[in-house]
Amino acid sequence: MKEHTQLREFWESRLQSDWTESGVGYKHLGRAFNIWMYRVRAEGFRREVATLGLDLRDARVLDVGSGTGFYVRRWQELGAKSITGCDLTDAAVHRLRGRFPSADFLQLDIAEPGGALDPASFDAVSAMDMLFHITDDSRYRAALRAIGEAVRPGGVFVLSENFLHRPEQRGDHQVNHTLPWITAALDEAGFDVVRRVPMLVLMNAQVDAHPLWRKLWGGLLRAVTLTEITGWLAGALLYPLERRLVRILRESPTTELMICRRR
């Protein structure tokens, strides 16, 4: 309960003060750089989801940890007509309802959704860059179980995570788990992994790289994004390279997108 309260207070404060790409993204790199980063994320999400064969005109979609609604917008672009979003914070849900009047939004903790989500009622669920903020392992697995219960058999689950090959990394507001740990938790929740692809390569913290490279590249990114002008220029220069890298590489030292199917 303490972990849940601290997590909610952290995100309530952060989203109340910054309901933009930097509020939900890599805050230290500034909004301008994050806008370019999220362009790459959007393209990757649309590309991968479009290959799933979902008839989104009749599908029910759930987006977990909606934040600013970035992925709600992506589902809309893909043609989804029935979208439900949920978030831990009142700061997000109140604004989301105004931004997306055709969608439904629930304020809930996905690790303890109560009876808010009907069993096997969604054809597709997304949880993008939010699970690693659940720092209690038992609550992380509980969140996956709740998602598994909400997805119909044969439905899909799209998530982004860091999927470390290196040892687990723990912080106050984020835990980067290993790929085997996450896949085991997904299996426990009733999911089979379909594929995993890079979502970003250079435009994010190099959490799964050698510590020296991680420190050097992280320092460079922070240096070139000290102002919004230099951040915008850095993002614009990296953007075409990043788009190519996420298509040609099979592994990434940072955020990856995974597609799962409910058994």
Residues paired with 258 in a beta bridge: 159, 196
65: its two tokens: 């940890």
Structure confidence at residue 91 (pLDDT): 86
pLDDT tens column, 37-79 = 999 999 999 999 999 989 999 999 999 999 999 999 999 999 9
d(CA 214, CA 18): 27
40: its two tokens: 């790459």
Rounded to the nearest integer, the mean pLDDT of the chain is: 93
Bridge-based pairing state of the strands 191-198 and 60-64: unpaired
d(CA 20, CA 138): 30
pLDDT over 80 (residue 173): yes
Confidence class for position 8, pLDDT limits 50, 70, 90: low
90: its two tokens: 């009142």
Q: What is 20-86+95-262's CATH number, 3.30.70.20, 3.40.50.720, 3.40.718.10, 3.40.50.150? A: 3.40.50.150
Structure confidence at residue 51 (pLDDT): 92
d(CA 127, CA 125): 7
Closest CA to 113 of 83, 78, 149: 149
Structure confidence at residue 27 (pLDDT): 77
Q: What is the pTM of this model?
A: 0.92
Estimate the crossing angle of helix 228-248 against helix 30-49, to 10 degrees: 20
Which has more pLDDT, 29 or 120?
120
Q: CA dihedral defined by 84, 175, 39, 105, rounded to 10 degrees?
A: 10
Percent of the chain's residues with pLDDT above 90: 85
pLDDT over 90 (residue 192): yes
pLDDT tens column, 233-261 = 999 999 999 999 999 999 999 999 999 99
Structure confidence at residue 5 (pLDDT): 67
Look-up of token digits 């589902």: 75
Confidence class for position 81, pLDDT limits 50, 70, 90: confident
Is there a contact between 117 and 105 (Cβ–Cβ < 8 Å)?
A: no
Structure confidence at residue 26 (pLDDT): 72
Look-up of token digits 């939900």: 24
Q: What is the DSSP string of 19-33?
A: -SHHHHS-GGGHHHH
pLDDT tens column, 138-168 = 999 999 999 999 999 999 999 999 999 999 9
Look-up of token digits 């831990």: 88
Query: In which element (H, E) is residue 46 found?
Result: helix 30-49
List, in order, residues 6 or more apart from 120 with CB less than 8 Å away: 149, 150, 151, 152, 153, 155
pLDDT over 80 (residue 207): yes
Percent of the chain's residues with pLDDT above 70: 90
Residue 194: strand, helix, or coil: strand
Is there a contact between 72 and 100 (Cβ–Cβ < 8 Å)?
A: yes
